[in-house]
Structure 1
């Protein structure tokens, strides 16, 4: 059977292959971004939490996740069916739109991977690695998969029944990871020394490198969601670039006005905030709308990251302040800035559409945020009461790199105060095994 007979477009397929690789690269980029933001004693642990998510989510997705997310609706728009368990029935001749179904499934897998990895930033420095290994697959099946079906799956209630818009993942990726991160931060409690000790990023060049890789991969994330090499992909690509830039500038403006110093960390965080907000809206707003969405996210998120000190929840690496808040901003502003030329019909408040679409977006935000928070809180509490989710005080004080992984990222300063590591300070294999 020829490619033309199968309905496969080689140009669309080539672009989606590249976009899939770009999105997968975002998880190693996130690993570097997070690893640079923690202290020297937790660098490797943060890298590991992201990298192991690639393996864990992949196995779950291939076994059941794809079928439950993108299989035919099993009823009420809440979950997909079991027709493709173990990727059954999806051979090389299977087509999704104009691309092979196996490629579409792999592209969607990369979204699931980075969403799980994002949550780790909220519990940096204090989570048991063994508990994380259990949490990720359970969370992927109970939280990410259902929300993805609601938003993108055949018959999903948010798109087909409610009519809310989400082009590339504001609801299943950004809001879901942010709300889940908040839930786990509350389950585990604050780090030792929270609001007392300085917990500055140990390596800002690593943070910027990670942010750069995230930005690079985000073009695949957003433009790839057009599922074709076409004008919509080009518009989403440009909107992504524009919003990242205004997010960066907005954050720096707030820092300069509030603190008197525009910082490197602020530039990286602002770019990410802008990219987060444009994710749901990149296929719905004009270039002007994208500039405003990014700017709004940069300004609002720069204030939101300080809420944890006022409300006393320890979101270690600002998953709540950037991803939850940024995702909410971008998803809601679709109801304000959506244009018919991008959506094919739906218009936002500023273009004559009234409040209808904004209301739909708000319902979707509340439903997804509440579901992700409540289910994640339940999973976290169950794991904490059974196998324990919080690392011991000794592990946290010494550092998870040394006590859990028996490794250090650097030859000196691994304990956070310049003390060199001696051979006797490395736990025995049996002790490491028991602590992990």
Structure 2
């Protein structure tokens, strides 16, 4: 009880500091009197015509780098992180799930994924079919959503988001799911779940019209994948060998480091320009990740008497997840508070909630991504600072409505993703089945599914 009190005291101090900071920011300084104010008002000049959109080479260069960084998050970042966490006999299969997902999504995205996510809005629900097979996109085409870079770069950037979102859910399914079932899941879930949700939030759909804030994927990526992870884990059932025995913690730390590195492209790249908003997202991303790693370490140290390396890595990822929707909207105080919350709340979700409820989310995809993404999306509605980004104004700056909008966006995503994931799993169960045989699970999925071993020692 004392440990929890210490944690809540720390959180209370930070909330109070945030409130004082917001109150100070909310009081505008009086404008100094000038000689011009004493002169008669002059008629306003006619506004200059808007300059035509043109490709900016600096923005383009940055977005090419950002796209490569997000690709790095999947292969090798997430593959190493998840592969190192799994049992030695299942590590190759775990890596293969991320690898094949990136390949499948890369193809489907250019065939129809981009069009249905970012095509002309149809009733606020889905994009149009006007850009199937990237029809009409040329080397000098520009999207209305990214007016200073070639559309091909914007397409590629969004492709990497779709790929890692699907791959994140695999962490809850490993060590027992058929590889064929995972391949089919990737196709169906990307098509039926990711594409609509991405359109609702980023493609001009109904959540965007309501004013939902999601800078880089709190609802679209982490809440979406986290709920899918939980639902799938419940349907698959528990593993025969329930203990989590990481096969290689060195790979886990390497993967976590690559995720952190690539996340700068994930968050700062979501400004879609080399500008001040990208800079704010960059520093907020690093700050929240570092603070979350430290807060997870402290809580674990108090709770279990030892600070683990796995805890440090998990905390850093939790902080990266939680700051994602807020990265381009909050100030540094907001990022610090989000980092502390992301280290404390997901820790208890993993250490206490999961054992009590008994679900087998193998690598805590729901505990870290589902809980962390929900936390970040809601806190964006609290800490969004118009001085950082004029398009976002949260509760601390006088806008109660933004918090309600964030809650609605999270609720809609939770409900839709949960229901559709259940439907998809039922379809897969009928078509190819979900779980490997008990004997294959004991042998390990590396050998039973791929005929290979990760380590030939």
TM over 0.5: yes
> Is 1:9 the counterpart of 2:56 in the alignment?
yes
Distance of 2:354 and 2:447 partners within structure 1: 28
Which of 308, 328, 332 in structure 1 is aligned with 2:378?
332
> Residue in 2 aligned with 1:85?
132
The answer to whether 1:142 aligns with 2:171 is: no
Q: Which residue of 2 aligns with 1:118?
A: 168
The answer (yes or no) to whether the contact 2:244–2:362 under 8 Å persists in 1 is: no
| Structure 1 unaligned spans of 5+ | 413-436
Q: 2:208 aligns with which of 146, 159, 162?
A: 159
Could you tell me whether the CA contact under 8 Å between 1:6 and 1:93 is conserved in 2?
no
- Asked if the contact 1:56–1:136 (Cα under 8 Å) also holds between the matched residues in 2, the reply is yes
Matched, 1:213 2:266: no
Q: How does 1:230-269 map to 2 (within 5 A)?
A: 230-269=275-314
User: Could you report, residue by residue, the CA deviation over 1:344-378 in whole angstroms, capped at 9, with x for unpaired residues?
Assistant: 1532222222x211111000001001101110111
Query: Residue 416 of structure 1 aligns with which residue?
Result: none
Does 1:169 find its partner at 2:217? yes
CA contact (8 A) 2:192 2:420 kept: yes
Q: Deviations over 1:169-209 (max 9, x none)?
A: 00110000000111111111111132xxx322121111000
Task: Give per-residue Cα distances to partners, 1:395-433, cap 9 Å, x unaligned.
Answer: 111100011111001124xxxxxxxxxxxxxxxxxxxxx
- What residue number does 2:441 align with? 396
Which of 153, 158, 161 pairs up with 1:103?
153
Q: Distance in 2 between matches of 1:225 and 1:332?
A: 19
Partner of 1:341: helix, strand, or coil?
A: coil
1:252-274 residue CA offsets vs partner (Å, 9 max, x unmatched): 01101100001000000000000
TM-score, normalized by length of structure 2?
0.86
Instruction: For 2:165 and 2:378, locate their aligned partners in 1 and report how far apart those are by CA, in whole Å.
Output: 20
Distance (Å, rounded) in 1 between the aligned partners of 2:269 and 2:402: 24
- Flag the 1:345–1:120 CA change in 2: closer, same or farther, 3 A: closer
User: What is the distance in 2 between the residues matched to 1:24 and 1:270?
Assistant: 22
Residue of structure 1 equivalent to 2:74: 27
Normalised by the length of structure 1, the TM-score is: 0.91
List runs of 5+ in structure 2 lacking aligned partners: 1-50
> RMSD over aligned Cα, in angstroms?
1.2
1:5 CA drift (Å): 7.6
The alignment of Structure 1 onto Structure 2 pairs a total of residues equal to 402
CA drift at 1:343? 2.8
The more displaced of 339-348 and 200-209 is: 339-348
